[in-house]
Amino acid sequence: MRKLTTFLLLFFSVNVFLFANEFKKNCVLTGVVHNFKAPQITINKQSIDLNSKGQFYYRLSLEKPAYFKINYGKHVPFYLHPGDSIHLEIDANKELNSIKVIGDRNDINQYLIQDAYEAEKLTSYLKKNYRHLFRLIEKKYIEKIDGFKRPFEDRLEKFIDESQITDDYFIKTQRAIIQYSYAYNLFNYPNWHRRFSDETNYQPSECFYDFLDKVDLNDSELLDIQEYSNFLDSYLRIKSDQELKESRQYENLNYKPFRAKMQVTLNTFTNPTVRSEMLYSFMKQFTKEYYHKGIEDLIELFKQNCMNQVYLSEIEEMIENDKSVREKCKIQVYKQIGEIALDAFVYLPVNLKQGEKRSALAFFHGGGWECGKPEWGHEQCRHFSSLGMVCISFEYRLKTQHDVTPLESMADAKSAIRWMRQHAQELAIDPQQIVASGFSAGGHLATCTVMIDKFDEPDEDQSISSAANALMLWVTPVKILADGWFRQILKERAEVSKCDPDQHIRPGLPPMIIFQGTEDDQVPFWSVKEFARKVKALGNRCELNIYDGQTHLGWGENEKDVFQKMDQFLESLGYLDFKEEK
């Protein structure tokens, strides 16, 4: 009887496996990359080796039509049905439209390559002109976006007609790519316009949102299309903003935007697959970009409503990873504002002896005064604590988490430096050797501790200085007078010039070192270069380190050089020389 049971179980398992794979067929993609720059390419983010002749081979199983992308420095889209085989001839030195395709669905894939070539030219134009574009008034912007869309629509419909394309999935998804790219750019215009123009109070006209009548928010078949997913993310964000303005249920709660997103998601996305995708999308952002404090109810709602086990596991892993970072430091409350307790992540050097006073580092994370978390300071704090410094990564109030303006963030940064001096003895800190370090918006806060005399917390002891003794600034917005985003989130609580380091340059500033990329799309390179020039012109020490081609994020190998130069800067100040106090 036991043998029979075992046999039946085995028989059942095999048949389930065969049934599940019955409709899957192998696809083969081969090709050659001439004049290749790297020994590998990626296909849908999977790394594939090239041989010495630049040839590659890739096989996968499909049960339905699907899109894939090759990245060899440029992105090449292609389209396969189960069982298809195609061969690509690519010259890395030539334009996308020079690629040759041989094999199944040749006409479709050749069309996709030409379409990608046209999209690449448009993307290049938008990257260079996005500020001008977003400053256009509503009518002019819509005319411009219509003008971008029309050639893609005409080219697609002409191709479908002349090539007699009957592939329903291809036709549906290609039309959707154009439709939802257009909808995405329209839907985001109000926020972009408020950020990049002087019309910070702009409101769309009554007919602006008419295009929403043609969108479908619950089409799970389109979830594999990036343009559709991008639009859904924007829709959720903007509708959540409206929910916050119209409902009072979020008052006195932290992370209001994410609580509103949870509510809108559960009410709007009725398709279980789409709902799970949207829950995962914003919970992934949430767990990645924010401090996991007081969010147990949000995590529980996510677990109850997400039907995708892979997503559930990934979010749980991210939560555990941040928890492991917090376990590597000592967390103390450095500031209490009503019911809000702000934390300091303290990293003490392992060789610290009783009676010693060490130089200290105060790290302020980036995130546009809107997001971020003290865990982002772990790498820098761990590095410099290993060199003997007392390092502290500070939580500070944020627009999204606490519904505040940058003024509160600036006050918290000043409180952090003051707290370090007040508790210098117990923290083993030399109060005259505190360096403030920050990335992006965090660099702005670090700079404000030194250069902005206002916005201290009024009930704190002003006789204790809140100014750092040195600055280490990484991609820092030091000239924010024309920054539409800063102006928008400041909400006219103060004049922007009062918060702008560039407006407060003077002799006698502490030494500073700055790291800036020439291709930063968030902090203009020229603004940092001009700031450094003006600081030095008044006799201050200011070392500007320029990285050609470097963007705002993704520093890669350049990060090693940044840390080496930070070490040298601190050594030159004597901040890495430690002696036991006598």
Same domain, yes or no: 376 and 314: no
Q: What's the pLDDT band for 24 if we cut at 50, 70, 90? A: confident
Q: What is the pLDDT of residues 410-448, one digit of tens each?
A: 999 999 999 999 999 999 999 999 999 999 999 999 999
Same domain, yes or no: 299 and 393: no
What gap in Å lies between CA 377 and CA 365, rounded to an integer? Answer: 6
Which of 297, 321, 345 terminates a domain? The answer is 321
Asked whether residue 418 is assigned to any structural domain, the reply reads yes
Asked whether residue 241 is assigned to any structural domain, the reply reads yes
Same domain, yes or no: 89 and 235: no
Q: Which of 7-11, 74-78, 487-491 has the highest mean pLDDT?
A: 487-491
Instruction: Check whether 65 has a pLDDT greater than 70.
Output: yes
Which of 82, 109, 136 terminates a domain? The answer is 109
Same domain, yes or no: 373 and 505: yes
User: What pLDDT score was predicted for residue 12?
Assistant: 43
| 181 Cβ neighbours under 8 A, 6+ residues apart | 149, 227
User: What pLDDT score was predicted for residue 542?
Assistant: 98
Same domain, yes or no: 422 and 494: yes
User: What pLDDT score was predicted for residue 13?
Assistant: 44
User: What pLDDT score was predicted for residue 9?
Assistant: 44
- What percentage of the chain exceeds 70 in pLDDT? 95
Instruction: Check whether 67 has a pLDDT greater than 90.
Output: yes
Residue 362: alpha-carbon gap to chain centroid: 23
Domain of 32, CATH number, reads 2.60.40
Instruction: Check whether 14 has a pLDDT greater than 80.
Output: no
Asked whether residue 546 is assigned to any structural domain, the reply reads yes
Selected residue with higher pLDDT from 552 and 12 = 552
Q: What is the pLDDT of residues 98-125, one digit of tens each?
A: 999 999 999 999 999 999 999 999 999 9
Same domain, yes or no: 256 and 379: no
What gap in Å lies between CA 496 and CA 34, rounded to an integer? Answer: 52
Q: What's the pLDDT band for 3 if we cut at 50, 70, 90? A: very low
Phi, psi (5° rounding) for residue 528?
-70, -40
Give the pLDDT mean for 175-193: 94
The pair of structure tokens assigned to 363 is: 């790290």
Give the pLDDT mean for 546-575: 96
Asked whether residue 313 is assigned to any structural domain, the reply reads yes
Q: What is the pLDDT of residues 351-364, one digit of tens each?
A: 898 889 999 999 99
Instruction: Check whether 73 has a pLDDT greater than 90.
Output: no
Asked whether residue 500 is assigned to any structural domain, the reply reads yes
User: What pLDDT score was predicted for residue 16?
Assistant: 40
Please report the beta strands in 189-266, taking only residues with DSSP state E, as ranges in sequence order.
Answer: none
Count of structural domains, the chain: 3
Instruction: Check whether 228 has a pLDDT greater than 80.
Output: yes
User: What pLDDT score was predicted for residue 23?
Assistant: 60
Asked whether residue 10 is assigned to any structural domain, the reply reads no
Q: What's the pLDDT band for 55 if we cut at 50, 70, 90? A: very high
State the amino acid at position 182 in one-letter form: Y
The alpha carbons of the chain give a radius of gyration, in whole angstroms, of 28
Which of 90, 109, 128 terminates a domain? The answer is 109
Instruction: Check whether 251 has a pLDDT greater than 90.
Output: no
The pair of structure tokens assigned to 325 is: 């970072």
Same domain, yes or no: 309 and 439: no
- Number of other residues whose CB lies within 10 A of the CB of residue 417: 25
Same domain, yes or no: 302 and 439: no
What gap in Å lies between CA 437 and CA 558, rounded to an integer? Answer: 17
Give the pLDDT mean for 495-518: 97
Q: What's the pLDDT band for 374 if we cut at 50, 70, 90? A: very high
Same domain, yes or no: 388 and 456: yes
Q: What is the pLDDT of residues 281-324, one digit of tens each?
A: 989 999 999 999 988 999 999 999 999 999 999 999 999 999 99
User: What pLDDT score was predicted for residue 11?
Assistant: 42
Edge-to-edge strand ranges of the sheet holding 66-71: 46-49, 40-43, 66-71, 75-80
Instruction: Check whether 37 has a pLDDT greater than 60.
Output: yes
Same domain, yes or no: 266 and 351: no
Instruction: Check whether 533 has a pLDDT greater than 90.
Output: yes
- Residue 342 parent element (H or E): strand 340-347
Instruction: Check whether 19 has a pLDDT greater than 60.
Output: no
User: What pLDDT score was predicted for residue 45?
Assistant: 83
Asked whether residue 515 is assigned to any structural domain, the reply reads yes
Same domain, yes or no: 391 and 264: no
Same domain, yes or no: 539 and 440: yes
Instruction: Check whether 549 has a pLDDT greater than 80.
Output: yes
Asked whether residue 311 is assigned to any structural domain, the reply reads yes
Domain of 358, CATH number, reads 3.40.50.1820
Q: What is the pLDDT of residues 463-478, one digit of tens each?
A: 999 999 999 999 999 9
Residue 238 lies in domain: 216-321
User: Which pairs from 112-121 meet CB under 8 Å and 24+ separation?
Assistant: 112/77, 112/78, 112/79, 113/76, 113/77, 113/78, 115/77, 115/152, 115/155, 115/156, 116/75, 116/76, 116/77, 118/151, 118/152, 118/155, 119/152, 120/74, 120/96
Mean pLDDT score across all residues of the chain: 92
Give the three-class secondary structure for 34: strand
